[in-house]
Amino acid sequence: MGSAKANLKRKASIIEANDATANAQAAQDSDFEDFGGGILNAVLDDEDSEDDSDFLGEEGDDLDDEEETESEDDIESEDIPTDDEGEEIKSAITNGINPNKDEDADDRPNYRIEKDANGGVRYVYDEIDPVYDSDDTDAQGPTNTIGNIPLSFYDSYPHIGYDINGKRILRPATGEALDSLLDSIELPEGWTGLTDPETGKPLNLSRDELELLRRVQMKEVPEEGYDMYPDTVEWYTSHVEQFPLSAAPEPKRRFVPSKHEAKRVMKLVKAIREGRILPYKPPEEREKEQEEEEEVHYDLWADETPRPPNVMHIPAPKLAPPGYDLSYNPPPEYLPTNAERKAWEETDPEEREKTYLPQKYDSLRRTPAYDEFVKERFDRCLDLYLAPRVRKNRLNIDPTSLLPKLPRPEELRPFPTVASIEFAGHEGRVRSVAIDSSGQWLASGGDDGTVRVWGLSDGKQQWRAKLSSEDPVDVVRWRPGQDGLILSAAVGEDIYLMIPSTVNPELEQASRTILDAGFGYASNAKQQTTTTGARKDPPAKWARPGARLEDEGVLLKATVRSPIKTINWHRRGDFFCTVSPTGQRSAVAIHILSKHLTQIPFRKLPGGAPQTASFHPSRPLFFVATQRTIRCYDLQRQELVKTIQPGCRWISSFDIHPGGDHLIAGSYDRRLLWHDLEMSARPYKTLRFHEQAIRSVKFHPGSYPLFADCSDDGSLQIFHSKVVNDLMEGPTITPVKMLSGHRVVNRLGVTDVAWHPHHPWIASAGADGTCRLWT
Amino acid sequence: MLDTPSPIPFDFLINGEFLRTSLHEYLEAHGLNAEETLNIQYVRSLIPPAYQASFEHNDWISDVDVLSATSRAGVWSGDKLALNQDRIVSASYDGLLQIWDPSGNSLARSSSGGHTASVKAVKFLSSTQIASAGLDRTVRVWKYIESDGGLQRTLKPSLELYGHKASVDALDVHGPTGRVLSASADGAIGLWTTSKSSAPAAPASLLPGAGASESKKRKLSGASAAPQRGPLSLMPIHNSPTTAVCFDPADASVAYSASQDHTIRTIDLTTSKVENVITTSHPLLALTSLRRNQGTASSSVLLAAATAARHITLVDPRVSASTISVLTLRGHKNIVSSLAAGPDNDYSLVSGSYDGTCRIWDLRSVRAATKSEGGGSVSESVYVIERESLKGTKQRRTAGEVPGRGAKVFGVAWDKTFGIVSAGEDKMVQINRGQDLLASS
């Protein structure tokens, strides 16, 4: 409304300056300035002149506008508000509204409250007053009042409807009259060729609208005179403001401590010290504290004084510092591969080497919490208090230096290495084997009850004698000495002494003489037993074995009371001892060949059943082995010299070193034991190399420092033993060769071994029915 | 020159060794560069000793000898040897001698008055005389007569020689002088003569029946009445069984003996003294002599001795020899029991072993021994002759089995006419071709 008023004022001044017709330019200017008003006027004019001037020309329109502007200007120039305006202002005042403030009209209520006749509240709305130059288009509402019906209903009438006053609106001229007119005139400016459906007049565009279209087409700002880039008005920065500084002195209170505040603080401090002010605690916590105060605690260690640590105190070992694999970002080589990860996951948690798998994280803040922490600490605590910690002196010794310096087997040649000759012929197991003292003949006895003599160097069977058809030949032994060739064999309770035919008449004759020498003494021995008064059987009966065996060369037979398992000759060839483990009191017997006499040296033998017995190679000592001990007796003084305890469960055989100071024993519990007779009753060395029981052990009787054992696992083992005279140095025992080749039959392998007297050759008897010579 | 009617195969030697593989493999085996220059010698190729025949015996055969125009006994016999009178004599463990012709017919067998126990050695003295020795401690000389154009043949004992106190295991003969050498298990070497008149009387104590029991006498009553004689000399020079003896090939008054006491002794037979003792490291079981540089001034003798340690040692028996052990022949898998020198040349040798093979050695093929073999020079066999009897059975060889089980070779002889004749535990006399086995230089 303000702008409208300004427009009015401007218009008034223009009119005052000059009349409209005189200065067309001025009118044009004002017309353009009053853009909004011009349009409104034209609309208003249209209402009036619609009836007649439907097809007014441009000039006519212009004229019309000018005339109306003049008339309006005339009215306005009077500067007197019309009644309408006056009323409006009046009503605005009564409503408490400044009518000039049109912008605020939306904010305040557009009604007033009055009391009606009944005394109730009545809303009285303002009369809407379309101001003269307001842009309210409702004011130019349709003049045709026929409503929303098609105009075609009025086709038969000369009018097309009625105006608001009920007068007919006549149909504009159409047809030929118009055509002729159109022909005569040019197409008017603003012609659209459309008909306004409400008025029925041609719908033409006004000059302003054309101008507007033109601007839009030219992409200019549609409104005339709009400045898009106005000059800035610097309201503030251009103003310089000055403030004066106070010259008044600083007040004292700004730098002197406040006595009042100090007083108040002291008051608070005093209250805190006296306990009147307490820090805040939740009530339940306070109650708990009170309860705790009421409980009574006793400190057991109150008067304890620190003591120095005990000698046996061992601090817990420290955990190893974490390694690369415990890092949150370990090097890639520490990261497990898929296979490792799978293996780790598949193993039992108890058996894992590490309780964790190295994992990689981009940064430390992405590392999750360690969920095994509590378990790990618990395990550590268990480790610490369940595992006793003991201080031990660790020996810092290189274990290889403790091993004896053994020579290489190659340096200890010669020793038997391969099987050279097989002596095949026995049916069933061969139980015993022996090589005679000349080294030419090998004797064997076996389960078939035969004794066979073989040529050692060619493997040809030279002689055989069947001693028994039921009992096996348990043992065969040659009588030592070169003066005769006498073989002894034990079958059951019988000892047979025989002279194998080796086509050597002198030797046979000499042997026969040796065997027959005792027949004169046999009666004497019998007499001796009778003179003692006790009518006892002699311990053995010596006799001829019978004509059949005598023809074969078996010349003498001695029968004892129980089955004999072992025969061992004294080195001179006159004595031999037999052992029958089942014979209670007469288990060990010593036989004198030259007298055909049998003696039983032990009436009672401690230590259980004897297993084997042997003469010492040089001294008058006699060794008897029971299951667990070997006893050494002096035959001359008839007393026990020493007891050897090999520490095995069941001795199978033993042999005495040709030097006489050492002894080896083999046992059924797979042990081979070396004893130094001068040193101790305990073994000097225990060798456990066999998988099965050891059946026999033998020293080489000649010049070679060898000994051998044989076992039920079908193998022989050859050892080299260096025995020195120095008492300070023990013997050196080196295993040099394992000879295998005998088949294991019924869990029996090699039953006996015998060394060649001169060469490093050994003969073995096997349960597979063969003997072998190993060279 | 190359236009021969039949192709002649060649063998090649590199550095004195026969090339048995391809040249490439040889280079690889010896680590040689392909750029290196090799001295390759070539000789006429050798034809392997093909199997020819086997004659079966009743018992193990302990020794064989051959008689032919080219054999030693044939040469000694000279004109007395009838044409085509090629014979093989074999000695058996059953105490019998048997004479064969080349086609395998048993011509004669010793019947009565023979050995009372196993015969251990047999040798032809001449076309009519055979010497044998055995376990019965005797050396016997036999008269072998073929009459009526070879239709009637008799093998009769002509002399029994007593003196040894144990089994006589080896023999050697010298035809021209009629001397026989024997080696016995009692450690003695006996020197005997085949002439009845010059031989001393037999020691009475050793004669059969002397001091024997009645039954023994009865048993021996069937003995023939061959003359009984004693030794020319009996030399107890070994203290272990003597296993082999041989005459010096050039000088019949010198003999060599080998024993299980590891020694080879040179004996001057005229004085019965030991002239040289060579000690080896193993028991010796066989001995043969080889001549070196035959027909030249530096002619000498090389002895090949078979040891129980499965190899053959070649020793120089001269007192002045700088190196005693010349060469070791390795390859046998068991005890070597017999040796025979090649008839064609002085560098070929055949050996029989308990492992059931005969091996033929070329003494020119020498290589240095490895450390485990103990140094020295080593040669390896050129050919291996298996026993035909083993081939038929084709036993499964198990790991622990004794090598040559059931087919021990006890005797071997090599003659130009017959080839290689070997015999052993399998009761067979086996003949293999023996010509051109080794290249002639």
Within 8 A of A506 by CB-CB distance, chain B residues are 165, 205-206, 211
The H or E element spanning position A543 is strand A541-543
Nearest CA in chain B to A409: B372
Q: Do A504 and B213 touch (CB under 8 A)?
A: no
A535 band by pLDDT with thresholds 50, 70 and 90 = low
Nearest CA in chain A to B135: A503
Q: Do B309 and A414 touch (CB under 8 A)?
A: yes
Q: Measure Cα distances from B94 to B97, B98, B325 in Å.
A: 9, 11, 38
- How many Å lie between the alpha carbon of A460 and the closest alpha carbon of chain B? 8
Q: Do B210 and A505 touch (CB under 8 A)?
A: yes
CB distance B127 to B80 below 8 Å: yes
For the segment A440-465, the average pLDDT, to the nearest whole number, is 92
Among A381-390, A443-452, B86-95, the range scoring the smallest mean pLDDT is A381-390
The residue written with tokens 């070779």 in the block is B409
**Which pair of tokens denotes residue A296?**
């009574």
Handedness of CA A554, A559, A565, A570 (dihedral sign): negative
For B160-208, the three-class secondary structure string (H helix, E strand, C coil) is: EECCCCCCEEEEEEECCCCEEEEEECCCCEEEEECCCCCCCECCHHHCC
Q: Do A420 and B354 touch (CB under 8 A)?
A: yes
Residue B398 above 60 pLDDT? yes
For the segment B131-154, the average pLDDT, to the nearest whole number, is 85
Residue A14 above 70 pLDDT? no
Nearest CA in chain A to B409: A458
Nearest CA in chain A to B373: A410
Within 8 A of A740 by CB-CB distance, chain B residues are 400
Q: What share of chain A is helix, strand, coil (3-state, %, to 5)?
A: 25, 25, 50
* Residue A88: alpha-carbon gap to chain centroid: 96
What is the pairing mode between strands B377-380 and B325-330?
Answer: parallel
**According to the model, what pLDDT value does residue A566 have?**
93
For the segment A18-35, the average pLDDT, to the nearest whole number, is 43
On whether any CB of chain B is under 8 Å from the CB of A460, the answer is yes
**According to the model, what pLDDT value does residue B323 have?**
77
Nearest CA in chain A to B92: A460
CB distance B1 to B429 below 8 Å: no
Phi/psi at B301 (nearest 5 deg)? Answer: -120, 140
Among A98-102, A570-574, B75-79, B332-336, the range scoring the smallest mean pLDDT is A98-102
On whether any CB of chain B is under 8 Å from the CB of A483, the answer is no
Within 8 A of A420 by CB-CB distance, chain B residues are 308, 334-335, 354, 402
Nearest to A460 among B60, B241, B399 (CB): B60
Q: Do A419 and B210 touch (CB under 8 A)?
A: no
- How many Å lie between the alpha carbon of B318 and the closest alpha carbon of chain A? 27
A217 band by pLDDT with thresholds 50, 70 and 90 = very high
The CA distance from A581 to A588, in Å, is: 8
Nearest CA in chain B to A772: B402
ipTM of this complex prediction, to 2 decimal places: 0.87
Residue B66 above 70 pLDDT? yes
The CA distance from B383 to B406, in Å, is: 21
What's the whole-number average pLDDT of chain A? 80
**According to the model, what pLDDT value does residue A51 have?**
43
Annotated domain spans of chain A:
2-192, 412-481+562-774
Secondary structure (3-state) at A395: coil
Q: Do B211 and A506 touch (CB under 8 A)?
A: yes
The CA distance from A632 to A254, in Å, is: 123
Amino acid at B326: V
Within 8 A of A500 by CB-CB distance, chain B residues are none
**According to the model, what pLDDT value does residue B210 have?**
58
Instruction: Count Cβ atoms below 10 Å from residue A605 Cβ, excluding itself.
Output: 16
Q: Do A741 and B400 touch (CB under 8 A)?
A: yes
For B65-124, the three-class secondary structure string (H helix, E strand, C coil) is: EEECCCCHHHHHHHHHCCCCCCEEEEEECCCCEEEECCCCCEEEECCCCCCCCCEEEEEE
Residue A604 above 60 pLDDT? yes
Within 8 A of A414 by CB-CB distance, chain B residues are 281-282, 309
The CA distance from A323 to A187, in Å, is: 102
Among A500-514, A702-716, B35-49, B357-371, the range scoring the smallest mean pLDDT is B35-49
Q: Do B402 and A759 touch (CB under 8 A)?
A: no
Q: Do A440 and B285 touch (CB under 8 A)?
A: no
Higher-pLDDT residue of A28 and A411 is A411
- How many Å lie between the alpha carbon of B8 and the closest alpha carbon of chain A? 41
What's the whole-number average pLDDT of chain B? 85
For residue range A725-754, what is the model confidence (pLDDT) as tens digits? 877 788 889 999 999 989 899 999 999 999
**According to the model, what pLDDT value does residue A430 have?**
94
The CA distance from B349 to B340, in Å, is: 6
Residue A65 above 50 pLDDT? no
Nearest to A505 among B211, B240, B260 (CB): B211
B168 band by pLDDT with thresholds 50, 70 and 90 = very high
Give ∠ CA A678-A575-A642 in degrees, rounded to 5. 25
CB distance B39 to B14 below 8 Å: yes
Nearest CA in chain A to B374: A410
The CA distance from A433 to A478, in Å, is: 10
Phi/psi at B217 (nearest 5 deg)? Answer: -60, -45
What is the pairing mode between strands B263-268 and B273-279?
Answer: antiparallel
Nearest to A459 among B165, B401, B408 (CB): B408
On whether any CB of chain B is under 8 Å from the CB of A743, the answer is yes
Amino acid at B319: V
Nearest CA in chain A to B355: A420
On whether any CB of chain B is under 8 Å from the CB of A599, the answer is no
Q: Do B402 and A741 touch (CB under 8 A)?
A: yes
**According to the model, what pLDDT value does residue A137 have?**
55
Task: Check whether the bond before A505 is cis (ω within 30° of 0).
Answer: no
For the segment B294-315, the average pLDDT, to the nearest whole number, is 86
On whether any CB of chain B is under 8 Å from the CB of A738, the answer is no
Nearest CA in chain A to B186: A438
* Residue B219: alpha-carbon gap to chain centroid: 33
Give the residue from A454, A471, A472, A475 showing the smallest Cα distance to A463.
A454
Nearest to B334 among A420, A505, A743 (CB): A420
For the segment A363-369, the average pLDDT, to the nearest whole number, is 90
Residue A625 above 80 pLDDT? yes
Nearest to B400 among A438, A506, A740 (CB): A740
Q: Do B335 and A458 touch (CB under 8 A)?
A: no
Dihedral angle, C-alpha A310, A316, A317, A321, nearest 10 °: -130
The CA distance from A614 to A622, in Å, is: 6
**According to the model, what pLDDT value does residue A178 have?**
72
- How many Å lie between the alpha carbon of A656 and the closest alpha carbon of chain B? 26
Give the residue from B369, B363, B427, B300 showing the smallest Cα distance to B18.
B363
The CA distance from B37 to B23, in Å, is: 13
Q: What own/partner pairs with CB < 8 Å and gap ≥ 24 does A544-549 have?
A: A545/A494, A545/A496, A549/A465, A549/A467, A549/A496, A549/A498
Most confident stretch, A502-516, B60-74, B319-333: B60-74
B28 band by pLDDT with thresholds 50, 70 and 90 = confident
The CA distance from B121 to B408, in Å, is: 16
Q: Do A414 and B281 touch (CB under 8 A)?
A: yes
A140 band by pLDDT with thresholds 50, 70 and 90 = low
On whether any CB of chain B is under 8 Å from the CB of A775, the answer is yes
Residue A564 above 50 pLDDT? yes
Which fold, A412-481+562-774? Methylamine Dehydrogenase; Chain H (2.130.10)
For residue range B235-294, what is the model confidence (pLDDT) as tens digits? 999 988 999 999 998 888 999 999 999 999 999 999 999 999 999 989 999 999 998 877
B63 band by pLDDT with thresholds 50, 70 and 90 = very high
Q: Do A505 and B401 touch (CB under 8 A)?
A: no
**According to the model, what pLDDT value does residue A133 have?**
62
**According to the model, what pLDDT value does residue A222 have?**
83
Nearest to B137 among A457, A504, A743 (CB): A504
Q: Do A504 and B282 touch (CB under 8 A)?
A: no
**According to the model, what pLDDT value does residue A126 have?**
77
A303 band by pLDDT with thresholds 50, 70 and 90 = confident
pTM metric for this prediction: 0.66
Higher-pLDDT residue of B65 and A306 is B65
On whether any CB of chain B is under 8 Å from the CB of A406, the answer is no
Within 8 A of B206 by CB-CB distance, chain A residues are 506
* Segments in A274-410 forming alpha helices (H): 283-294, 338-346, 373-386, 399-402
Within 8 A of B241 by CB-CB distance, chain A residues are 438-440, 457
CATH number of B49-433: 2.130.10.10
The residue written with tokens 């839009």 in the block is A216
Nearest to A505 among B216, B260, B410 (CB): B216
On whether any CB of chain B is under 8 Å from the CB of A503, the answer is yes
A723 band by pLDDT with thresholds 50, 70 and 90 = confident
Q: Do B260 and A759 touch (CB under 8 A)?
A: yes
Give ranges for CATH 2.130.10.10 in chain B. 49-433
**According to the model, what pLDDT value does residue A141 have?**
52
Q: Do A410 and B372 touch (CB under 8 A)?
A: yes
Number of A–B residue contacts, CB under 8 Å: 87
**According to the model, what pLDDT value does residue A22 have?**
44
